[in-house]
Amino acid sequence: MIPDGSLLGAEGLHKSYGSNSALIGAEFSIHPGEVVAVMGPSGSGKSTLLHCLAGIVAPDAGTITYAGRELSAMNDAQRSALRRSEFGFVFQFGQLVPELTCLENVALPLRLNGVKRKQAEATALAWMTRLEVEDIAAQRPGEASGGQGQRVAIARALVTSPRVVFADEPTGALDTLNGELVMQLLTEAARAASTAVVLVTHEARVAAFSDREVVVRDGRTQDMERIV
């Protein structure tokens, strides 16, 4: 059962790719402002769980509820609208648009939602300042370091003031120092905005920034309450 007060929750999720079962009765829940680390070995199903929760992939069975609405009851256009405005995404390699400046990359989600350029770029610059990368606003992603690029990607994920951010191995391509800085900035910014963060990782040092851990193993989930 999805706990009361959850912003995003799932129960009984099953997902197979051919004869391979990626999820077998998986469950998940997250509250506003909470950071939940989804952990597990490679191939355990953690990225499939994230993609289902974000409405990118449809589960074969089970229920996913976001803000009181079932994702399965939404059409493709409605799920796409969610991903543009209420969901944010951070990937392992940033996936910034190389032809755009860093500022234009951060402003892009707002522009796609119809916000005028001047307003979008002002909001984008405010987020870049908050994430300490305003000095590379005019540079293209290829001119930025890996750590700077990930902070730009986080600014892009947060610029629409999403209610949930999905971060898939966001520090996987970074060294320890840059990885910890990126996680600190991401979690601080998200908590300040009451944004929930679904954090997929296999690294304990990254999971340490979360409030709670969900372990995925062989397609099944186990909720691990953090012991303080």
Q: What angle do CA 63, 79, 30 make, to 5 degrees?
A: 50
179 and 80 in a common domain: yes
115 and 219 in a common domain: no
- Residue 46 contacts residue 71 (beta carbons within 8 Å): no
pTM above 0.75, yes or no: yes
User: Measured between alpha carbons, how far is 23 from 224 in angstroms, rounded to an integer?
Assistant: 18
Cβ neighbours of residue 79 under 8 Å, at least 6 residues apart? Answer: 55, 71
| Domain residue limits at 191 | 1-86+164-223
Residue 91 lies in a domain: no
81 and 130 in a common domain: no
Residues 169-224 have pLDDT tens digits of: 888 888 888 889 889 988 998 899 899 999 999 889 999 999 999 999 999 999 98
Residue 138 lies in a domain: yes
Closest CA to 31 of 67, 61, 60: 67
Residues 58-78 have pLDDT tens digits of: 999 999 999 999 998 899 899
151 and 41 in a common domain: no
Q: What is the pLDDT of residue 66?
A: 95
- Out of 143, 161, 179, a domain closes at 161
Residue 27 lies in a domain: yes
Give the chain's domain count.
2
- % of the chain with per-residue pLDDT over 70: 98
User: Measured between alpha carbons, how far is 32 from 65 in angstroms, rounded to an integer?
Assistant: 14
Residue 129 lies in a domain: yes
**Helices assigned H by DSSP within the chain:** 46-53, 76-85, 102-112, 117-130, 146-158, 176-192, 204-207
User: Measured between alpha carbons, how far is 23 from 216 in angstroms, rounded to an integer?
Assistant: 9
Confidence of residue 3 (pLDDT cuts 50, 70, 90): confident
52 and 8 in a common domain: yes
Residue 128 lies in a domain: yes
Confidence of residue 227 (pLDDT cuts 50, 70, 90): very low
Residue 147 lies in a domain: yes
Residue 92 lies in a domain: no
82 and 1 in a common domain: yes
200 and 178 in a common domain: yes
Residue 228 lies in a domain: no
77 and 123 in a common domain: no
- Out of 161, 185, 205, a domain closes at 161
177 and 157 in a common domain: no
- Out of 111, 131, 161, a domain closes at 161
31 and 66 in a common domain: yes
178 and 77 in a common domain: yes
171 and 153 in a common domain: no
Give the position of tokens 């990937």. Answer: 91
